[in-house]
Chains A and B, each alone.
Chain A
């Protein structure tokens, strides 16, 4: 064994000079262990220190003019950092907060006392596969809303994609029961609504308003909601404004949609310190993203 090794070494003549071998080893070591220290080695003790370190002056107000240096992880935030943080979030006026809070509580009770139990029963009776089919159907039939709004927003390409999806799903997707455009051809669409269109034209929220049953909105998005309703084929089912067919369809769509989201509302509500404010901010951020994002 040893002899063979020796012979091979001799053949290759690798360490022509000792420093070359040393250098190779050094380089390898440096390569494998870069100068930056891996996370775990630092983390443990540092974290413990944070917890066990005795805290002085917990009580009493902080004396002014004794800032904690920002090199400390718990140190003051600098003006530059706070500026970034403050500018990040969009806000909304809430002049009718008492009404809104009342409506928030009304909707909360409506969810827990009516919508959730009904949806749970529905979920139990209707298998998931069928619920997905209904969801596809309601989604497909709203294609005109998306097409018109994409056009109004000056995005003919996206309107074209919606048209394409509508044609494929209404035919090969068995009248919209299956999202064949996405499943067979990988063509995915994008949502668009009239509230968003108005926003893109520069209309602001106005103020915050919570509608019974419908939830968070604003004057702008309320106008958008009504306009979109006129473009929705299901609106024209039945002969009058409140026929059994229309109300039934709307209720079914709502319950079917909720059946995929049981638990979402609860989680957001549970994790919030002030759920009313959390949902209001969630609405503002979500809608702002829909308008300004891309």
Chain B
């Protein structure tokens, strides 16, 4: 009976240490699942017409909300400039930037809906960050798309997308920096509002 008891305790301990969901491939699986769900919506041919278009956009917004951490993404895009925005401006910025990216990102992946996406590997970047690498095969080329993810309380979230070596947040940081170098934050928000509203 003593052996059985200790075996039970050991088993219990092992189960607690290694839960059902192993930590190994979690970032890759999370990104893959969420990207796949966006692609599934895009490829859904039953959603047609104006109403279908609207439903599609809503579904994509839900899916991209699970995939990205837009606050983290905004902070990393602005870098030191983030601290120059007051609390209200930060919220406005995140909201507008999210809208801009949703429009842009959806456009971009819509262009690839017929292509094959392969998730190849994950490369650790820092203590809490991992790069999930994927490859889109087109007729004449292979396009590397890397998702950089960070561990948050509610799972792994994308904070940057690197396409052919070009980082999304770095690209926007350069653009925003030029604006903020000569103008106040409010004018950046105004530019974003015009950009997003004009869609």
A residues with a Cβ closer than 8 A to B are 16, 20, 23-24, 26-27, 30-32, 34-39, 42-43, 46-47, 50, 55-62, 67-68, 73-74, 76-77, 81-82, 85-86, 88-89, 91, 128, 132, 135, 139, 188, 260, 263-264, 267, 270-274, 277-278, 280-282, 285-286, 288-290, 293
Contacts and interface: CB of A to CB of B under 8 A. Distances in A.
A282 B104 CA distance: 15
A277 B138 contact: no
A151 B71 CA distance: 46
Given A27-B12, A273-B179, A86 B166 contact: no
B104 A267 contact: yes
Given A50-B91, A62-B86, A85-B79, A277 B154 contact: no
A65 to B, nearest CB: 12
A74 B111 contact: no
Given A23-B12, A76-B83, A267-B107, A290 B165 contact: yes
CB-based closest 10 A-B pairs: A289-B165, A271-B104, A58-B88, A34-B19, A85-B79, A62-B86, A89-B170, A82-B80, A39-B155, A281-B174
The residue in A46, A47, A89 that gathers the most chain B C-beta atoms within 10 A of its C-beta is: A89
A74 B170 contact: no
B175 A277 contact: yes
Interface of B: 1, 4-5, 8, 11-12, 15-16, 19-21, 65-66, 71, 75-76, 78-80, 82-92, 94, 100-101, 103-104, 107-108, 111, 138-142, 153-155, 164-167, 169-176, 178-179, 191-192, 195
Contacts of A290: 165
A74 to B, nearest CB: 5
Given A57-B88, A74-B87, A32 B166 contact: no
B173 A89 contact: yes
Contact of B80 (A73, A77, A188, A281): A77
A42 B153 contact: yes
B20 A278 contact: no
A43 B154 contact: yes
A58 B79 CA distance: 21
Contacts, number: 161
B179 A47 contact: no
A267 B89 contact: no
Contacts of B103: 270-271
Main secondary structure of the interface of A (DSSP, over half): helix
Q: Which of B15, B21, B103, B169 has the most CB atoms of chain A within a 10 A radius of its CB?
A: B15
A20 B89 CA distance: 58
A39 B91 contact: no
A144 B87 CA distance: 57
Contacts of A280: 174
Contacts of B94: 74
A30 B16 contact: yes
Interface centre among B19, B87, B100 (most CB of A within 10 A): B87
Contacts of B21: 34
B167 A89 contact: yes
Contacts of B88: 55-59
A267 B82 contact: no
Given A39-B66, A285-B166, A272 B83 contact: no
Contact of B87 (A46, A56, A282): A56
Nearest to B103: A271
A278 B66 contact: no
B172 A132 contact: no
A20 B170 contact: no
